[in-house]
Structure 1
């Protein structure tokens, strides 16, 4: 049966407009909502609404839209943005199906599409037995095809989106981005980081070589982006610095005396917050500066392969750690945080007692996640968008019959 989709804010790319076109070709109706200039330039053909009101008025506006009975489904990118979070209770009240896109749980070459929510809002069970039972009857998981994903395409669309936000700011006077800093500051920070990239890789390679050659037992703590909803919404921390404080204090007091801690910065961190300085100052105060290494680059698979354990908040690096059989603890809400995969005790006890994951459970979990939530494609390249559109249409139509 034909469905009627209300498309809220999408990616900073043509993906949502391509998806809308494909759904219309299949006989469905789609109406997009633009909240800012970036949405406007990527809205494509078809019917649109330009929402110019205040965020506080969105619950009432969404309710009026839902009351018309014109829509059966809602699609959005990310479920924690200010323009999206008000839709969840409205959709429940009026029986609308919500479909949330997000970057892939499994990377590269995959993106996420789930009913109701993603990450901390995901409806994926946290029961190991469910994954083991599902795995017995599940069809084989197809091998992913390369999408040609690259940072150049992503940066191009992001810059265009941000420029349109500035150009059309007067048309959307109450819009505030979910990102805390403007594009100029973020890209300035990334430019400075790019200039230091060669030195960062050289320093990280030297630190890794020293650790491995000396045979030091070490733990790795990969950082996340401070503005990521995974930190802001789905973790107990006020920010990444707060997470560093928690991990370093616990390491200093409870980790084996001869062990080291490697803190690896996020590859897209803009440098606007100096995590290296913060971690170095605290490590000195705690008396563990000689056992802490902060790196801005490095070959993550090598680091994970030889680590005594991995500490994450809820990063997708957790799945890579499981792949490399590294003992793992998740300090926030993560889809993979369950008995058999992650340490279920305290961080203080993890340093001494963390255990390797059950690899049979890991494979069952990974296959189920791909089967139920992942689509081969990406949001930014021409090839990746075409792949993602075809896969999303199949998944959305199948959801209507579920």
Structure 2
């Protein structure tokens, strides 16, 4: 067994602090990478950034960027050339599953260049995940490092995730992607490119949120007041890279079909199954109709509760168990000492933390992880992989990583 390196700082952040020349690729929509650029230049680092679209170009205002306007199959050679010419020692990117970033990860590894991967935080709000080489199902941080610092080393950033900010930044990003298409005609985006698509998506999302909020919170209160015995399923959405890359399911519907069938046959008869939509999936219309159809075919439709809105931490805490493909809600379940079944690949899928038997057995045989084991895991995960910052704060809010 390889011994872990004891550290008292996020290993990726330590690498970033020790860097000389940093190359930024794509970041979150908005000014986050400009804020990161300012933090790095204040520490006398050379910072360069490659932009791939009109949206990236608009977001990059802190430095003059390098434009890549070639075909995807030309990207790897272009990336290697830039790394060599600029003498890059660290590459930073947000979203490891993007085609450009997958090629960059492979090429940087061959060049011996450190890559820092950022993603939405495992702990939300107020955190961003920052790891070396990969996150989520590709994470190796907890296998390579052990926390040896102050237990409560970091606390959540005070500038919480402002939903309206992220929506506003996304709207501007996609508008400029469209307007600047002539400069980047070969750009291949990882999602839908139309600003009108996202405008309709988020308008429908907000409509569903406010039309269901009071009703669903009332349903949640009735559920908890009745002291119902229930299992909780935090839904993921179809566009989630976690679903595509780190599970064997081709769709959420496939997961739901297997789950409801198992529940109908093996769960205790009084038990209920509670679903809550992912906030980013509201604009897709949800899975209420599909779940109702499947549940009815198995004769358990009266034991299903479907929520568009709800208080996820409260639902987790009062549940008999949480079933997820690989949602970050799994970390919440461990913090709440609730039994957890993982149906995909997740960073918290470790012996003693999650139920290792089949789904059919989970309904009856599941038990929570031992307190000391789950608490140590959460401590390690938080301190080794998270940095306190909001990825969608406004440009005038500096990053504070002391």
Give the alignment's Cα RMSD to 1 decimal: 2.2
Q: Which runs of 5+ in 1 are unaligned?
A: 395-402
Q: Which residue of 2 aligns with 1:119?
A: 136
Q: Find the counterpart in structure 1 of residue 209 from structure 2.
A: 197
Tell me the SS of whatever aligns to 1:269: helix
Secondary structure of the residue that 2:50 maps to in structure 1?
Answer: strand
Checking the alignment, whether the CA contact within 8 Å between 2:282 and 2:308 is kept in structure 1 is no
Contact kept? 2:32, 2:393, Cα under 8 Å: no
Residues 1-400 of structure 1: matches in 2 within 5 Å?
3-68=20-85, 70-125=87-142, 134=146, 137-142=148-153, 143-180=155-192, 182-382=194-394, 385-387=397-399, 390-391=400-401
Retained in 2: the 8 A contact 1:328–1:356?
A: yes
Q: CA deviation at 1:239?
A: 2.3
Q: Once the 2 structures are TM-superposed, how far is the Cα of residue 199 of structure 1 from its aligned partner?
A: 3.7
Q: Is the 8 A contact 2:31 2:395 kept in 1?
A: no
SS of 1:315's partner is coil
SS in 1 for 2:137: helix
- Deviation sequence 1:56-93 (CA, Å, 0-9, x none): 22223223334447211111011111110111211111
List alignment gaps of at least 5 residues for structure 2: 1-17
1:111 CA drift (Å): 1.1
Kindly tell me: are residues 153 and 329 of structure 1, through their superposed partners in 2, closer, same or farther at Cα, counting changes over 3 Å?
Answer: same
Displacement after TM superposition at 1:2 (Å): 5.6
CA separation in 1, counterparts of 2:193 and 2:63?
A: 32
CA distance in 2, matches of 1:371, 1:218: 32
Deviations 1:6-51 (A, max 9, x none): 2111111111122223323322212111111110011124342211
**Structure 1 residues 312 and 26, CA, compared in 2 at 3 Å: closer, same or farther?**
same
Matched pairs, number: 384
- How much does 1:125 deviate? 3.2
Q: Residues of 2 paired with 1:385 and 1:300: CA distance?
A: 29
Structure 2-normalised TM-score?
Answer: 0.89
Greater shift in the superposed pair: 198-207 or 69-78: 198-207
Shift of 1:215: 3.4
Flag the 1:240–1:181 CA change in 2: closer, same or farther, 3 A.
Answer: farther
Contact 1:82 1:178 in 2 (8 A): yes
Q: Report if aligned partners of 2:247, 2:325 keep a CA contact under 8 Å in 1.
A: yes
| Kept after mapping to 2: 8 A contact 1:113/1:375 | yes
Quote the Cα distance in structure 1 between the aligned partners of 2:208 and 2:24: 40
Moved runs in structure 1, 4+ residues, more than 4 A? none
- Aligned residue for 1:12, secondary structure, equals coil
Alpha-carbon separation, structure 1, partners of 2:371 and 2:193 = 41
TM-score by length of 1: 0.89
